Structure 1
Amino acid sequence: MAFPTHIVAVGGIVEDEQGNILLVKTRDGGWVFPGGQVEVGENLMDALCREIKEESGIDTTVSHLIGVYSNTGIHKWYDGVTEVPTKLMLDFVCKPVGGQLSISDETTDSGWVSKEKVLDFIAAPAIRTRFQVYLDFDGATAYMEYVSKPEFEIKHRTGISPR
């Protein structure tokens, strides 16, 4: 039996006081809310604040967890050889506390978009689905299993009610 390996990633839905959402345009995947992989020895909150700052220039605080997602599809990485392991993603609501909009090695644009128009920007089905969880959030943390390749498919979905 192989030793289990997962990629752990965090996503931040950053909403300002006017109800706008922070989006970044990636070099290879279009518009998304910021986030990325947690590095070895890094806690989730630090990883999320670091990723948001790196991708958008915005400083944030993390508020609360809204969704836990497993991408259990096995597919090849960009090199066409390496298999991408199961990816565990945790999405949090964040608040901006400073910084200036900017871009990075990973992003070509960043900006604030009204909450009602965000889905007009996001094309990736998994990101759209995860943002919809934010829009529908009622205090119950969502859990979803999906595969993104060859086509996006939700395998399991549930809400985890607060105590």
Structure 2
Amino acid sequence: MASRIDYYDDPNAPTPNSLVPSVNVVVTNEAGDLLLIRRTDNGNWALPGGAIDLGESIPQAAIRETLEETGITCEITGLVGTYSDPRHVILYTSNGEARQEFSIVLTARAIAGEPTPSSETSQVRWVRRKDVDTYRMDRSMRMRVKHYLRGTAPHIG
């Protein structure tokens, strides 16, 4: 099975061979819970998201990726920040792609749908803010969630 391996400031990380604009989305419901997915490629919990396709805007990609991975339709409401740390390298074992991190993280509110897993997600659930720290996440994803929960100005990095 193909997997995703995240490296951070690791001398054993592969040399990046791609840079792909992507988006992650902090989706909340009326109770303020966060929508999390459990990735099938590494078993970690994460915010929904993925690559921005040619001909697609950042908000369009965010809405599409959220629906594809979670079954939830959302409306974009804001910006958490940008994440482009060259020390974060993501290896996709299926094709040897070693991607430098490049993600824009948006906020959104759920407007329709029920949490439904997909081929990319083994689980999808609403998580109370106070419980988010109990979910296993990659370091970079955890940082994105923490920036959102702090509610500070957009992160630029």
Shorter-chain TM-score bucket reads: 0.7 to 0.9
RMSD of the alignment, in Å?
1.9
Q: Which runs of 5+ in 2 are unaligned?
A: 1-16
Match of 2:64 among 50, 53, 63: 50
Gap regions ≥5 residues in structure 1: 145-163
Give the structure 1 partner of residue 102 of structure 2.
Answer: 88
1: CA distance, partners of 2:132 / 2:62: 20
State yes or no: 1:28 paired with 2:41: yes
Matched, 1:61 2:68: no
If the length of structure 1 is used for normalisation, what is the TM-score?
0.78
Instruction: Work out the CA distance in 2 between the residues paired with 1:56 and 1:96.
Output: 11
Deviation at 1:66, TM superposition (A): 1.3
1:124 and 2:138 are equivalent in the alignment? yes
Deviations 1:65-86 (A, max 9, x none): 111000314565415744x243
When the two structures are aligned, how many residues end up with a matched partner? 139
1:65-144 to 2 correspondence within 5 Å?
65-73=79-87, 76-79=91-94, 81-82=96-97, 84-138=98-152, 140-144=153-157
Please give the secondary structure, in 1, of the residue aligned with 2:101. strand
**Aligned-residue identity in percent:** 26
More strand per residue: 1 or 2?
1
Quick one: higher RCO (CA 8 Å, sep 6+), 1 or 2? 2
Tell me which residue corresponds to 2:32: 19
Q: 2:114 & 2:30 partners in 1: Cα distance?
A: 16
Normalized against structure 2, the TM-score is what?
0.81
Greater Cα radius of gyration, structure 1 or 2? 1
